[in-house]
Chains A and B, each alone.
Chain A
C-alpha cells in the first residue's frame, strides 16, 4: 500500500535542517526514516513518520512549507542483486522513478527502500504482481 511522506522546503543556509528537526522533536514526532535532497540553493527534507497529518501541521505552524506525497515502501532482500531484481521489474513495466532512498533499519535480513514513482498506483500493482513485498504502514511503524 501507498504511504504518505511529508516533504519540507529548506533554504540552503546554516541551521535550517536543525530547526525543522527541532520542531518534530518538540511535537514528539518520531522520524522513521528521512532523506535530504539538496541543491546549491535549497533543500527538500523528506520524512516518513507515523502521524503524517500531525507532522504536516506542526511544520506549517512553524512557518515551513510542507507537502504530502504518496510513496511506496518496498522490501528488498539484503544480498547482491536484491535491488537489481526490483529495478528490472520497474524497467520492464516502463515505470518512472522520481527518486528513492533507504530505510535506516533492516528487518530480518531484509532492507526496505522508499520509492517515489510518477504513478504510484500502477507501480504498486506491477510490483505486487511480480511478487515484490510492498510494505503496509503497520509493518513499517511496528518498531517505530
Chain B
C-alpha cells in the first residue's frame, strides 16, 4: 500500500470498517426519517408495510424498506419526490429521458458540496491533482456529467476546460494545443476522437494526455484496451446516475479492477432481478442504491437496472470502500429476439473474440414475415481488411459463429465501410429496433 499517493481529499476512502458502518447507519436513519417526514410516496409505502423510521436499527434493516423505481420519478414529475422546500434547492438537473418522459432532480447547497466531494475523490483516485489540465467533454446543461465533473475537478485544484460535448475538431485542437493531461467524456466519444485524430494526423501518443475518466454508458475491457493502445492514457471507469447524484457514485482506482463505491454517501445492495431478494456478497444481480446524505431528493433503495456484483476482497490500493464490478450490462439494455434475451455487451464480446480489437458496430432489429431478424453491422478496419474475397467472407462466417456461440442466435453480419455508422457525441446508440411491436 503506497500511502504517499494519498490525496488529502481521499481520506474518507480509507475509513475503518467500523467507522464506515457507524457513519452509514447514522446517515441511513436520518435519511429515512427525512424521506418519511417530507415525501408523500415514501411515507405511504412505509405505512403500507407498517414501518416507521425508528424500525431501522441496523444496516441490514435497509432490506425491509420499499424500493424506488424510475417510474416513481416520472409519476411524481417534476418535484414530487423532493424532501426540501424549493427555496432551499440551488440546482436542478434533468435526464434526457432516452427511455421516456424526462425526470427532474434537485440539489441543496449541501448536496452540491457532497457531489463536489465525491467527484474530487473520484478524480483523485485516478491520480489527478492540482496542476492537471482537464478537458471536460461531458455535456454541460441539464445532463449531470458536465457540471458535476466541473465542480469536482475545480475543488481538486485542476485546471478545467469546460469545452462540453460535440465539435470534434475543436476538441482535438484543444487536446493538442492546451497541454491537456486528462479528459472526461463517454468512452465511445473518446474512440471517435481517436478516429478523427488519426484522420487529422494527430498522434494521441505524442500528447501529454495521461488519464481518461470515462462513463455515462457501459463499456468493455476491449474498449479500454483499444483506448490505452492508441493513446498513452490510462482509462478509468466512473459510475453514477442522475437519479442518485450524477457521476461520482463509484470510481476505478489505479488498479483498474472494479469501481470503489463512495459508501459513506451511497449504500449499495445487490438484489435478484426477479425476486428482488438481497443476494449474498459476490453474487451478480441488480445494483440497488440508497442515498445516505442527499437532502433535496433522498432516494431509498433505488433500483438502478445496472447488473453487477460487489467484490468482498480488499483492493491493493488500500481503499476500504467496497468495489463493484464494472457494469457490463443493464437489465433494460437487454432486447429480446426470437424469445432469447440478448445484451449488446454479448455482441461486443463476440466481435472482440474474433477481431482482437473492438470495431465500431450497430445492431439492427427488423421483423420480416413475423420473424425477428438481427443484423450486426460491423465497420471494416485496416487490421481485418484483405484483398481476397475469401478472407472477408471467412471473417463474416467467424463473426456469425462467435455471436451464435455466445447468444445462441444466428445473425446476419454486414461488413460496412469505416466511419459509415453514426457516431454519438453522448451515449452510443448500439441497437436500432425497427420492429413494429
How many A-B residue contacts, CB cutoff 8 Å?
A: 58
Q: Contact between A63 and B393 (Cβ–Cβ < 8 Å)?
A: no
A binding-site residues for B, Cβ under 8 Å: 5, 7, 9-11, 16, 37, 39, 41-42, 44, 46, 60-61, 63-67, 69, 98-99, 116
Q: Which chain B residues lie closer than 8 Å to A63 at the CB level? A: 199, 417-419
User: Complex Cα distance A41/B420, Å?
Assistant: 15
Q: Would you list the 5 A-B pairs with minimal beta carbon distance, nearest first?
A: A7-B387, A65-B385, A11-B417, A69-B387, A9-B380
| Option from A41, A60, A116 in Cβ contact (under 8 Å) with B415 | A41
| Option from B386, B414, B418 in Cβ contact (under 8 Å) with A41 | B414
Q: Which chain B residues lie closer than 8 Å to A98 at the CB level? A: 388, 390
Q: Which chain B residues lie closer than 8 Å to A5 at the CB level? A: 387
Q: Contact between B389 and A39 (Cβ–Cβ < 8 Å)?
A: yes
Q: Contact between A61 and B199 (Cβ–Cβ < 8 Å)?
A: yes
User: Complex Cα distance A41/B395, Å?
Assistant: 13
Known: A65-B381, A65-B382, A66-B385. 14 other contacts (CB 8 A): A5-B387, A7-B385, A9-B385, A39-B389, A39-B392, A42-B380, A42-B392, A60-B382, A64-B418, A65-B385, A65-B418, A69-B387, A99-B389, A116-B388
User: Complex Cα distance A116/B416, Å?
Assistant: 25
B binding-site residues for A, Cβ under 8 Å: 199, 380-382, 385-390, 392-393, 396, 414-420
**Interface majority SS (helix, strand, loop, mixed), chain A:** strand
Q: Given contacts A11-B420, A44-B392, is CB(A67)–CB(B387) below 8 Å? A: yes
Q: Which chain A residues lie closer than 8 Å to B388 at the CB level? A: 44, 98-99, 116
A24 to chain B, nearest CB (A): 16
User: Complex Cα distance A11/B419, Å?
Assistant: 12
A10 to chain B, nearest CB (A): 7
Pick 6 A–B contacts, CB within 8 A, sort by A: A11-B416, A11-B420, A39-B393, A42-B392, A44-B387, A67-B386
Q: Contact between A10 and B389 (Cβ–Cβ < 8 Å)?
A: no
A118 to chain B, nearest CB (A): 10
Q: Which chain B residues lie closer than 8 Å to A9 at the CB level? A: 380, 385, 415, 417-418
Q: Which chain B residues lie closer than 8 Å to A37 at the CB level? A: 389
Q: Which chain A residues lie closer than 8 Å to B380 at the CB level? A: 9, 42, 65
| Option from B199, B387, B390, B415 in Cβ contact (under 8 Å) with A42 | B415
